[in-house]
Amino acid sequence: MESTITLPYWFFLLLILLAVLLLLDRVLLPGVRWYLKRRVNRVIEEVNTRLDIEIRPFQLTRKQALIDQLIFDDRVIEAIKEYARDNNMPQEVAQAKALKYATEIAPTFNAYIYFRFGYWLAKKIGRLIYRVRVGFYDHDQLKNIQQNASVVFVMNHRSNMDYILVSFLAAEKTALSYAVGEWARIWPLQTLIKSMGAFFVRRNSRNALYRRVLERYVNLATRAGVCQAVFPEGGLTRDGRMREPRLGFLDYMLRDYHPEIDRDIVFIPVGINYDRVIEDKSLTRRLDPDAQRRSGWFVIKTSLRFFFKTLLMERKARWRRFGYASVNFGKPISARDYCQQHQVDFSQLEQQPRFGCIEHLAQSLMDEIRHVVPILPVPLMSEILLQQPEQWQSELELKTRAVQRIEQLQQAGAPINISAGACEQVLMAALDMLVGRSFVELENALYRPAESALPLLQYYANSIRHWRDMDDKA
């Protein structure tokens, strides 16, 4: 006698769904993973043949392995015990916090995304908006850096475009690992950024456990030879002048550095400047203590309007509005040579004297960065206009004084790349840009800074203010 078993529709559909998931997990997904892994390995082999600094094994380590390495680091374990004791909590809870911090910090570098998508996207965005210029002031010493050295690009921070510009300009030499702030921790942006080797940093965190986990990651990455990009200022400049350096990252890199036995750490100064910083009005607005804080919706709305408006512009119109963006690479500074010249071993110093030595090194790096910050037409013209802000001046007067200033800067060895043949055209384009943005008033062929735009003109002039300060000292 036959019997029939009747199943509810929902249970039947559940069985089908489970069967499909099992098929995907056991048959299809392993094949897809193998295919993607093969593509990634091909990219790694290809780019390593042309990169000056190869992708390090540390960058290819699985994220979970990096997390485990951080969590079971001796110093992190000691920090977990101390944190649990100080906060009167079970050690397991403190360990869970450390695990959360390690998961947040550790990147998931993907060479295929970095070189096939990230490089292409950064290049397109950079050249979509600006006329990009790059210069080298290292006397070909970049080529002579040891292959196993840990290279650290130290740069001034003027705009969030800095990440994009330097990434695609350095992509022919190496894969950079950035420290990015909380602004990038939004989905899906954070997934893309982490896959490009960046790691998140809570810049103003005073949590001792978090700082220890971050310190150990930076130290491990540096010792493994990962090429990193660091903004010593710690944040965007608001008045246009370079800020005082923060010492945390340099301390993380150097506190356990033994110059005799460890691989060399080579710092490369990078100077960045723009004819137009996209965030200039927002940055200078923060200088006003009475300014009201803008809502998140206002920021998103303004950003989207700017993005679509820029896309609809013709290339010539975009370049007229945004002008040049320039990046200069300076002379490399070897940590090993620095230690020998100054007779210092950071690993043997207590905290206070170590920070004093690191501050001296940081100031030296900042001076080198200042010397390679590009002098562009708009900052130069802003400086000229602010010399007589209340007077109406003719185009000829402004250009004459600008040409004289260019000659002074060139004699002082400043990084200015404006040829004599194109000088008049370039200066006129800078004036047109300032007039177009209502920074400068134009009446009867005479120019004068608009009173409401004086903070913005000062912002751009401050990017090259250090050369004026050197002239005053001389």
The domain that contains 403 carries what CATH number?
1.10.10
Q: Is residue 343 pLDDT above 80, yes or no? A: yes
What does the pLDDT look like over 422-458, one tens digit per residue?
888 899 999 999 998 999 999 998 999 999 999 999 9
What does the pLDDT look like over 96-123, one tens digit per residue?
999 999 998 888 887 777 777 777 888 8
Question: Does 197 share its domain with 134?
Answer: yes
> Whole-angstrom Cα distance, residue 181 to residue 236?
11
**Residue 285's pLDDT is what?**
85
pTM above 0.75, yes or no: yes
Question: Does 413 share its domain with 351?
Answer: no
Question: Does 271 share its domain with 407?
Answer: no
| 8 A C-beta contact, residue 233 and residue 454 | no
Question: Does 97 share its domain with 228?
Answer: yes
Question: Does 130 share its domain with 216?
Answer: yes
**Residue 110's pLDDT is what?**
78
Pairing status of strand 228-230 against strand 446-449 = unpaired
**Residue 315's pLDDT is what?**
64
Of residues 369 and 300, the one with the higher pLDDT is 369
Query: For residue 412, what are its two tokens?
Result: 């002082």
Domain count across the chain: 2
The domain that contains 53 carries what CATH number?
3.40.1130
Question: Does 349 share its domain with 439?
Answer: no
Q: Is residue 242 pLDDT above 60, yes or no? A: yes
Q: Is residue 34 pLDDT above 60, yes or no? A: no
The pLDDT-based confidence of 185 (bands split at 50, 70, 90) is: low
The pLDDT-based confidence of 15 (bands split at 50, 70, 90) is: confident
Domain residues for 457?
Answer: 377-473
Question: Does 233 share its domain with 355?
Answer: yes
Question: Does 120 share its domain with 44?
Answer: yes
Q: What angle do CA 200, 125, 239 make, to 5 degrees?
A: 65
Give every CB contact of residue 268 below 8 A, 6+ residues apart in sequence: 138, 142, 151, 152, 153, 154, 329, 330, 332, 333
**Residue 59's pLDDT is what?**
81
Question: Does 125 share its domain with 61?
Answer: yes
What does the pLDDT look like over 314-329, one tens digit per residue?
666 666 778 899 999 8
Mean pLDDT of the region 289-307? 68
Give every CB contact of residue 216 below 8 A, 6+ residues apart in sequence: 70, 73, 75, 76
Question: Does 255 share its domain with 202?
Answer: yes
